Amino acid sequence: MKRAPSFMDLKDLIAVGLLAIILIVVFPALLDGFRLNLVAKYLTYAFVAVGLVLCWGLGGILSLGQGVFFALGGYGMAMYLKLEASSVENTKIQSTPGIPDFMDWNQITELPYFWQPFHSLPLTILLIILIPALFGFVIGSAMFKRRVSGVYFAIITQALAAIATILIIGQQGYTGGVNGITDLRTLHGWDIRTDSAKFILYFVNAILLLCIVGFAMYVRDSKLGRILVAMRDKEDRVRFSGYSVANFQIFVFCLAGVFAAIGGAMFTLNVGFMSPSLVGIVPSIEMVIFTAVGGRLSILGAVYGTLAVNFAKTSLSESFPELWLLGLGGLFIAVVLVFPNGLAGIWRDYVQPHIDRALKLNSKDPTDPAANVAKQAAAASPAE
């Protein structure tokens, strides 16, 4: 497959347009408030999946710790919302009014210094981007400069996810512990618990995701995207062509981390809480599976893969909760063995050729044997 050198060619534009229509028109029209909110939750995971396409699919850097970045964004937003919900009059029954309830239960009498910046919304938004970028930079520099890669990198990131969970649960006075940060109410005075707020937040989330998708496509189609592919293939050749491979690896790891953090922040806003259950090893691996199912080389595939797996998860665990993990494991094995390019690969190999042929059918070309075959197939099929 040849990839277009320019950013957003016609095919991309149509595909993104189609996704936009599905997210902005079809889902809100077809789904009730409860289901739409579920979709919003799924879409927050898609931010992580899109980042993984760049980092893992193109760059070959498998991170099993994206939950940590999701948490950095999610907790950042949750801390802001929690502080707003913990005004002095809201918490006057506490022994120390004006601090989050879980701190009061843990005999903490003063707001910790690292919570202070989260009083301000602009600062919170800035930190949601900066902290994961900085964290990615520190981890990335430590690993990539030392040429740690492949499975070793994956294991270390997985360990990070485990450490983050232990830290959050252990420091319950500062983090809300295993319950996470709950009972979130308003965003800068705007009640996020109402149906109308959830409806609006769904659109904010969807549009933000489309922006991230567009940005990811820009990166993919830039020379940097091609260098990522080149690095995955022949790291040394890239190095001996005058590039600092580590810098590119750090960049894409940070970028994927920032995408995940934005997703995390949107999760908190749409779902109304943040907890360690979204941080650890299992959710981090689930996010990799979403990407794999969608097709790890396809940015749009990652979004569809996330939606498909989560729809399946919800419907399966509503009826057979104990079967879900088995189903997820089976799905991952199937992706690896049977369709390594995921949904995007299936689309490209089985669906796209039919569409191309159907299009060719309309533009007259009777000498093309493929078009004739398609014509016969079209005549035989009642759907056409």
Partner 1 sequence: MTTIGTPPKEYLLAVEGLTVSFDGFKAVNDLSFYVDENEIRVIIGPNGAGKTTVLDLICGKTKSSAGSIRFREKELTKMSESQIVLAGVGRKFQTPSIYDDLTVFENLEISYPRGRSVLGALTFKRDAAVRERVAEVAEAIFLKDRLHDNAAFLSHGQKQWLEIGMLLIQDPELLMLDEPVAGMSVSERIKTAELLNTIIKNRSVLVIEHDMKFVEDIAHKVTVLHQGKILSEGSMEKVKNDPKVVEVYLGH
Using CA atoms, how far apart are residues 361 and 329, in angstroms rounded to an integer?
42
Of residues 357, 20, 34, 13, the one with CA closest to residue 195: 34
Nearest distance from C-beta of residue 55 to partner 1, angstroms: 14
3-state secondary structure 352-382: HHHHHHHHHHHCCCCCCHHHHHHHHHHHHCC
Nearest distance from C-beta of residue 332 to partner 1, angstroms: 24
CB nearer partner 1, residue 226 or residue 375:
226
Nearest distance from C-beta of residue 114 to partner 1, angstroms: 30
CB nearer partner 1, residue 185 or residue 239:
239
CB nearer partner 1, residue 183 or residue 235:
235
Nearest distance from C-beta of residue 248 to partner 1, angstroms: 6
Using CA atoms, how far apart are residues 55 and 64, in angstroms rounded to an integer?
11
CB nearer partner 1, residue 209 or residue 250:
250
How many helices (H) and strands (E) are present in the chain, helices listed first?
18, 2
Eight-state DSSP code of residue 4 = P
Using CA atoms, how far apart are residues 339 and 345, in angstroms rounded to an integer?
7
CB nearer partner 1, residue 116 or residue 222:
222
Nearest distance from C-beta of residue 235 to partner 1, angstroms: 10
CB nearer partner 1, residue 240 or residue 320:
240
Question: What is the number of residues in the chain?
Answer: 384
Residues that bind partner 1 (CB under 8 A): 2, 5, 219, 222-224, 226-227, 229-230, 232-234, 236-245, 247-248, 251
Nearest distance from C-beta of residue 360 to partner 1, angstroms: 21
Nearest distance from C-beta of residue 255 to partner 1, angstroms: 10
CB nearer partner 1, residue 242 or residue 366:
242
Using CA atoms, how far apart are residues 277 and 284, in angstroms rounded to an integer?
10
Q: Which residues of 352-369 are buried (b: 16+ CB within 10 A; e: fewer)?
A: eeeeebeeebeeeeeeee
Fill in the amino acid letter for 283: P
Structure tokens at 296: 């790890």
